[in-house]
């Protein structure tokens, strides 16, 4: 009794048998779980407010302790931090292989399966160099496509691209350093700084992706390959004096010539 008096503990509390935390909070767990199940998007304070409306007497500290123990606290979503980018002037050089613009698009097959496309454009004559189509296009796949284009046309001086995860990847950075290709990143939220390929994307979507129903990736690739030939050699381009890209500025046909920076 003297020890209880010194510790400020009642004798009833001292002699009371220890109670399991789960049993002690069983009512809180049951009520909180019911609210969270009915409203899974609610945070703690909305759940606590609902319990108070239902007449539950527990204080916020006790309910929050149980809330955390049940792992109902939702992780806070944070924005991915993108490095500050300088404005890249959108100047169309009158030469090939000065700047290539690259960008991604997304669509779905008839059965709902999603796929992506990697579009590559030469800003010198707006020629579409490639459209790679797959369900996944990680950084290593981007590098592979660019390496194939370099083997055919020679390396560009620079790539213009946005800040997507595939384009800020270590794989693309290492490739650009090895090839001596500058990476011109546009500012976040400023697609107009990559306007040439954004305009190309709109045309590709309207004339191919939105115009056809595809059952497989092979169908997408077949239709895209035929359309690319038409786009580069037949379709008049308004900003090029209403002539196709390869008429406005023909591309050399041999690898030796295509590695040169030829002015118009």
Alpha helices by DSSP H, listed for the chain, are: 2-7, 11-15, 21-24, 26-38, 44-53, 60-69, 139-153, 170-179, 195-204, 217-233, 245-248, 255-258
pLDDT tens digits, 187-243: 888 889 999 999 999 999 999 999 999 999 999 999 999 999 999 999 999 889 899
pLDDT score at 223: 97
Residues 99-258, CATH architecture: 2-Layer Sandwich (3.30)
pLDDT given for residue 201 in this prediction? 96
Ranking 74-83, 147-156, 222-231 by mean pLDDT, the lowest is 74-83
Mean pLDDT of 46-71: 91
pLDDT digits (tens, 9 = 90+) for 165-182: 999 999 999 999 999 999
Distance CA 168, CA 191 (A): 16
Helices 60-69 + 44-53 axis angle, to 10 = 130
Segment (H or E) for 183: strand 182-185
* pLDDT at 119 > cutoff 70: yes
pLDDT band at 14; cut points 50, 70, 90: low
Using the predicted structure, report yes or no on whether residue 13 has a pLDDT greater than 70: no
The domains of the chain are located at 2-69, 99-258
Which has the higher per-residue pLDDT, 199 or 15? 199
Write down the pLDDT at residue 39.
87
Identify whether the C-beta of residue 108 lies closer than 8 Å to the C-beta of residue 216.
no
Instruction: State percent of the chain over pLDDT 70.
Output: 86
The stretch 127-144 carries a mean pLDDT of 96
Q: What is the mean pLDDT of the chain?
A: 87
Q: Please report the pLDDT score of residue 148 as a whole number.
A: 96
Average pLDDT over residues 9-13: 72
pLDDT of residue 80: 61
Helix (H) or strand (E) holding 124: none
For CA atoms 193, 96, 100, 173, the dihedral sign is negative
């Amino acid at each position: 009794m003297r020890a209880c008096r010194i510790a400020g503990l009642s004798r009833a509390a001292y002699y009371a048998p220890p109670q399991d935390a789960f049993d002690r909070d069983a009512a809180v767990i049951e009520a909180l779980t019911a609210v969270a199940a009915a409203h899974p998007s609610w945070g703690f304070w909305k759940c606590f407010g609902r319990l108070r409306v239902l007449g539950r007497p527990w204080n916020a500290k006790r309910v929050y302790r149980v809330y955390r123990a049940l792992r109902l606290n939702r992780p806070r979503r944070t924005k991915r931090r993108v490095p500050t980018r300088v404005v890249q002037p959108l100047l169309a050089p009158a030469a090939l292989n000065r700047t290539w613009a690259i960008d991604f698009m997304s669509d779905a097959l008839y059965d709902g399966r999603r796929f992506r496309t990697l579009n590559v454009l030469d800003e010198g004559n707006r020629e579409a160099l490639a459209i790679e189509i797959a369900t996944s296009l990680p950084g290593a796949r981007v590098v592979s496509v660019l390496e194939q284009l370099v083997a055919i046309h020679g390396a560009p001086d620079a790539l213009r691209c946005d800040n997507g995860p595939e384009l800020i990847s270590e794989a693309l950075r290492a490739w650009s350093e090895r090839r001596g290709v500058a990476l011109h990143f546009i500012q976040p939220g400023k697609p107009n700084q990559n306007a040439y390929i954004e305009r190309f994307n709109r045309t590709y979507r309207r004339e191919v992706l939105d115009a056809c129903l595809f059952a497989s990736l092979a169908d997408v690739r077949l239709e895209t390959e035929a359309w690319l030939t038409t786009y580069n050699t037949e379709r008049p381009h308004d900003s090029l004096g209403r002539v196709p890209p390869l008429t406005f500025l023909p591309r050399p046909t041999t690898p030796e010539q295509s590695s040169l920076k030829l002015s118009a």
